[in-house]
A and B are shown apart, each in its own frame.
Chain A
Amino acid sequence: MLFNSLIFLNFFVVVTTLYFLVPDKHQWKLLLLASCYFYMFFVPVYLLILGFTIVIDYYAGILIERKTGSKKKLMLIVSLMANVGVLAVFKYYNFIANNLSFLLKLSGVHHHIPYLNILLPIGLSFHTFQAMSYTIEVYRGHQKPERNFGIYALYVMFYPQLVAGPIERPQNMLPQFHQKHAFNYDDVVTGLRKMLWGYFKKLVVADRLAIYVNAVFHHPGKHSAITLITAIIFFSFQIYCDFSGYSDIALGTARVMGYKLMVNFRRPYFATSIKEFWSRWHISLSTWFRDYLYIPLGGNRRSISRWCLNILLVFMISGLWHGASWTFVVWGALHGFYLIAGIFFNKVFKDRFLIIKNTVTGIFFRTSFTFMIVCFGWIFFRANSIDDAFIIIRNIVTWKGGGFYIGSISDIFYSIVALAILLITEYTQEFYSESFSLMNSRYKLVRHLSYVAIILLILLAGILNQSQFIYFQF
């Protein structure tokens, strides 16, 4: 069941209505039932895989608390192995097999390791990471194990964030499932407003830009430098609006029922450095990697070479998390390299540029530069293969001619208008108060007119063919 389908809207209305009608003590049961139904809409049998890790992690959590020393550690390892094992089989087996076959071929052994013909369970990387954060937090003593199996299952399966995050922490979510959630006007309005903006981002911006992006990236070798640059910029906004649009809908859906999920995006393209970019982009994943991988590896408390290695390692694994392909690994490594370069730049030049650093020109330059190098990274993220990525880079560097690919004039028009609305709104939110935006206006009429305008924009310019969210494949 996709968020951008009529079925979901019906599901949302029915579940939310029932949620406020059932007695408080049964609310979580209803949510668990609804979440199972939601997940079964994709591939019903995969609920068993989810069930398998839920059972293991639930008991692991309880046993971790009871045991001490090496036994405690063993329980954690069992839980992590179960989650990583499921990920390895379903997401990375074919990738590993393919690379092993290639290595064997290089060493003269012609043996093809057979592939597994299986469909990746939707949202697997998200809910396994969320489950892992639970057992790790219990192990660290930051979280008491959840005794109610149903509530623990709901923590992993809560339908708004089940398939594409935000990757929540038990400290935030578990207490909320134990609380009573009565109908609250402010929560409902805040949630619906968030959902509406999420739908605008996904249907009007992301899916419209996708038409141009897909056409260009399908045959990158055919296109001129200017076309490729346009497609890369469009993709940078497509992926942002696709994923942050999903997150907004998830946050909004949960908020309507009174649940507060963590913010996953904070206008990342206004970042003035790569470090800042990662504190604004997919925050739930970057903090996950920070807390559970980067810091345990030693973070920045080691020698400079080890520190750089830690950064590179974390970003390469983060790239691999996105997809079982070398394009994602290169994308991750590239971001790691950016951060390392930033560290050295700051060490060498220290405060030499402090005078212009925080001026309007300085901020503009740094924001533009950050956006540019992020866009360069997106080439690897979006390209169908490493070869395609290098073709794109070569065509841009050599400034390949051949005219500008327009595709459909109306698509370009809609794309530019949608981007303009997005940028103006985000600019306002970034540099002025949130309440300055039309949807948050203190005037009721302005608020209502802005809701109506967005709904009409979705109806007139949205792509309403229920296209997949990019991050669902991860």
Chain B
Amino acid sequence: MSKQAVYHYIKMFENIVILTGTLFIADRLIGHTLKKIYFKQQKGDYYQTTYAVDSARQQLLIFGSSRASHHYVSSVFEKYTNKSVYNLGRDGRNILYSEAIFLQVLSNHKPDDVILDVTPNEFSWKAGNEGRSVMVNTLLPYTYQPTIYKIIEKADKSELILSKVFQTYPYNSIAVQVLGNYFGVLNGEQNIKGYVPLLGNKISKEVTIQTPETRNAVNNDLALVNSFKNFLALAKSNKITCRVVVSPIYHVDEPNCLPYLKKITESYGLRFYDYSDLKIFKDSSLFYDNTHLNDKGATIFSNLLASNLTNDLK
């Protein structure tokens, strides 16, 4: 090797060391600050997950996506069942997230009952890598929990490695919202025992109501189907009463997998409650948008469901 080449290698090595050192310090500093702020939030989506991961100890827990979070008024269920209730639903998350949170909850506490809200597009919404990526990214700040660590390790080891190497990485794409929530610049949604009310009505007038018959053909993603089965199996093996519920929906374009959801649920000896086509919920004034009830609709639905379940839940 020539003298010049050796000089080039040494110069390169020297610069790599300086860059790595600077990056390490800056990353640790920013990552640590973001971590502190993230866990100090008291409202908004991230707080909802932090609560679910660290603190959910209620007797009745509700799981699901945004439709769970906006449809199940916890206080109504408390009134009917005399049990402590918390809604763990979260916007933009599918069954993979619900399964992970259920596993984490079980590592601390065994609820008496769980309700899992499912949607007609449960097995196609955020299918494939997208759903897995959303679940993993949501849970990256919680790898200090052994259960979460294992879930992410199984789902995507490279994400876990990145989050260990770079402390800023778990806050990818969320730093602005976290800071905004913390400093009160953004109005993170306030929840009432996990229930996040939606106010008003934004339904598009151009939409036509679809019946199950007019919806598209079923298109099931195997990972989502398995995740749903795992959720039911977990409940069953822990002797937790589990109800699978389809809450009201105004319009859905996506494939309808309700018959398949029902079949799987019943194969586990569980009851399937379908409220997606109830006549009273054909009224657009009860909806915030095509797939979400507003506060008024959610209260009517929660009372209806809770009264129907009362005998079972008591």
In contact, A452 and B23 (Cβ under 8 angstroms) = yes
Closest CB in chain B relative to A23 CB, distance in Å: 12
Chain A residues 166-204 with CB under 8 Å of chain B are 182-185, 188-189
User: Across the interface, which residues of B come within 8 angstroms of A188, CB to CB?
Assistant: 8, 12
A229 is an interface residue with CB less than 8 A from chain B: no
In contact, A185 and B11 (Cβ under 8 angstroms) = yes
Closest CB in chain A relative to B124 CB, distance in Å: 17
* Residue of chain A at shortest CB distance from B25: A452
User: Across the interface, which residues of A come within 8 angstroms of B143, CB to CB?
Assistant: none
Chain B residues 154-195 with CB under 8 Å of chain A are 158, 162, 166, 168-169, 171-177, 180, 186
Tell me whether A410 and B22 are in contact in the complex, defined as CB-CB below 8 angstroms, given that A183-B8, A188-B12, A459-B166 are known contacts: no
Tell me whether A451 and B8 are in contact in the complex, defined as CB-CB below 8 angstroms, given that A456-B30, A460-B171 are known contacts: no
User: Across the interface, which residues of A come within 8 angstroms of B171, CB to CB?
Assistant: 460
Closest CB in chain A relative to B175 CB, distance in Å: 5
* Residue of chain A at shortest CB distance from B9: A183
Chain B residues 34-79 with CB under 8 Å of chain A are none
Closest CB in chain A relative to B76 CB, distance in Å: 30
In contact, A465 and B133 (Cβ under 8 angstroms) = yes
User: Across the interface, which residues of B come within 8 angstroms of A460, CB to CB?
Assistant: 30, 168, 171-173, 175
Per-residue interface assignment for chain A, residues 310 to 333, with 1 indicating a CB less than 8 Å from any chain B CB and 0 otherwise:
000000000000000000000000
B278 is an interface residue with CB less than 8 A from chain A: no
Other-chain residue from B15, B30, B177 in contact with A410 (beta carbon distance below 8 A):
B177
In contact, B15 and A189 (Cβ under 8 angstroms) = yes
In contact, A459 and B8 (Cβ under 8 angstroms) = no
Closest CB in chain B relative to A465 CB, distance in Å: 6
CA distance A460 to B174 in the complex (A): 8
In contact, B173 and A463 (Cβ under 8 angstroms) = yes
The listed residue with most A CB atoms (<10 A of its CB), out of B7, B174, B175, is B175
Closest CB in chain A relative to B126 CB, distance in Å: 12
In contact, B22 and A452 (Cβ under 8 angstroms) = yes
In contact, B8 and A184 (Cβ under 8 angstroms) = yes
Other-chain residue from B7, B19, B169 in contact with A459 (beta carbon distance below 8 A):
B169
The listed residue with most B CB atoms (<10 A of its CB), out of A6, A222, A448, A452, is A452
- Looking at chain A's contact residues, the main secondary structure is helix
Other-chain residue from A409, A410, A451 in contact with B19 (beta carbon distance below 8 A):
A451
User: Across the interface, which residues of A come within 8 angstroms of B133, CB to CB?
Assistant: 465
Closest CB in chain B relative to A450 CB, distance in Å: 11
Chain B residues 1-43 with CB under 8 Å of chain A are 2, 5, 7-9, 11-12, 15, 18-19, 22-23, 26-27, 30
Other-chain residue from A183, A222, A456 in contact with B26 (beta carbon distance below 8 A):
A456
In contact, B180 and A410 (Cβ under 8 angstroms) = yes
A414 is an interface residue with CB less than 8 A from chain B: yes
A455 is an interface residue with CB less than 8 A from chain B: yes
In contact, B169 and A414 (Cβ under 8 angstroms) = no
A462 is an interface residue with CB less than 8 A from chain B: yes
CA distance A183 to B130 in the complex (A): 40
Closest CB in chain B relative to A352 CB, distance in Å: 50
User: Across the interface, which residues of A come within 8 angstroms of B7, CB to CB?
Assistant: 185
Tell me whether A413 and B27 are in contact in the complex, defined as CB-CB below 8 angstroms, given that A182-B5, A452-B19 are known contacts: no
A461 is an interface residue with CB less than 8 A from chain B: yes
Closest CB in chain B relative to A107 CB, distance in Å: 35
User: Across the interface, which residues of B come within 8 angstroms of A465, CB to CB?
Assistant: 129-130, 133
A30 is an interface residue with CB less than 8 A from chain B: no
* Residue of chain B at shortest CB distance from A413: B176
Q: Interface size (B, Cβ < 8 Å)?
A: 33
Q: What's the interface size class on A, roughly? A: 20 to 34
Closest CB in chain B relative to A185 CB, distance in Å: 4
Per-residue interface assignment for chain B, residues 129 to 145, with 1 indicating a CB less than 8 Å from any chain A CB and 0 otherwise:
11001000000000000
Other-chain residue from A6, A185, A414 in contact with B173 (beta carbon distance below 8 A):
A414
CA distance A143 to B133 in the complex (A): 49
A78 is an interface residue with CB less than 8 A from chain B: no
In contact, A461 and B158 (Cβ under 8 angstroms) = no
User: Across the interface, which residues of A come within 8 angstroms of B5, CB to CB?
Assistant: 182-183
A449 is an interface residue with CB less than 8 A from chain B: yes
Closest CB in chain A relative to B54 CB, distance in Å: 24
* Residue of chain B at shortest CB distance from A453: B26
In contact, B18 and A448 (Cβ under 8 angstroms) = yes
Closest CB in chain A relative to B174 CB, distance in Å: 7
In contact, A448 and B173 (Cβ under 8 angstroms) = no
In contact, B8 and A461 (Cβ under 8 angstroms) = no
CA distance A124 to B248 in the complex (A): 49
User: Across the interface, which residues of B come within 8 angstroms of A182, CB to CB?
Assistant: 2, 5
* Residue of chain A at shortest CB distance from B168: A459
Chain B residues 191-225 with CB under 8 Å of chain A are 204
User: Across the interface, which residues of A come within 8 angstroms of B172, CB to CB?
Assistant: 459-462, 464
Closest CB in chain A relative to B250 CB, distance in Å: 17
Closest CB in chain A relative to B32 CB, distance in Å: 13
* Residue of chain B at shortest CB distance from A211: B173
In contact, A410 and B173 (Cβ under 8 angstroms) = yes
User: Across the interface, which residues of B come within 8 angstroms of A462, CB to CB?
Assistant: 172
The listed residue with most B CB atoms (<10 A of its CB), out of A184, A185, A414, A459, is A459
* Residue of chain B at shortest CB distance from A451: B19
Closest CB in chain A relative to B14 CB, distance in Å: 10
CA distance A414 to B178 in the complex (A): 13
User: Across the interface, which residues of A come within 8 angstroms of B174, CB to CB?
Assistant: 410
CA distance A426 to B169 in the complex (A): 27
User: Across the interface, which residues of A come within 8 angstroms of B23, CB to CB?
Assistant: 451-452, 455-456
Chain A residues 435-468 with CB under 8 Å of chain B are 444, 448-449, 451-452, 455-456, 459-465
User: Across the interface, which residues of B come within 8 angstroms of A444, CB to CB?
Assistant: 18
Chain A residues 184-239 with CB under 8 Å of chain B are 184-185, 188-189, 222
Closest CB in chain B relative to A239 CB, distance in Å: 21
In contact, B18 and A185 (Cβ under 8 angstroms) = no
User: Across the interface, which residues of B come within 8 angstroms of A185, CB to CB?
Assistant: 7-8, 11-12
* Residue of chain A at shortest CB distance from B185: A409
User: Across the interface, which residues of A come within 8 angstroms of B180, CB to CB?
Assistant: 409-410
User: Across the interface, which residues of A come within 8 angstroms of B168, CB to CB?
Assistant: 456, 459-460
CA distance A59 to B176 in the complex (A): 58
* Residue of chain A at shortest CB distance from B176: A410
Closest CB in chain B relative to A181 CB, distance in Å: 12
Tell me whether A414 and B176 are in contact in the complex, defined as CB-CB below 8 angstroms, given that A456-B168, A465-B133 are known contacts: yes
In contact, B22 and A449 (Cβ under 8 angstroms) = yes
CA distance A189 to B9 in the complex (A): 12
Per-residue interface assignment for chain A, residues 321 to 347, with 1 indicating a CB less than 8 Å from any chain B CB and 0 otherwise:
000000000000000000000000000
CA distance A22 to B186 in the complex (A): 56
What are 10 A-B contacts defined by CB distance under 8 Å?
A6-B162, A184-B8, A188-B12, A410-B173, A410-B174, A410-B176, A410-B177, A448-B18, A452-B19, A456-B26
4 nearest A-B pairs in the assembled complex, by CB-CB distance:
A185-B8, A410-B176, A410-B177, A459-B168
Q: A189-B15, A455-B23 are in contact. List 7 more A-B contacts (CB 8 A).
A: A183-B8, A410-B174, A410-B176, A413-B176, A448-B22, A449-B22, A465-B133
Binding site for B on A (CB under 8 A): 6, 182-185, 188-189, 222, 409-410, 413-414, 444, 448-449, 451-452, 455-456, 459-465
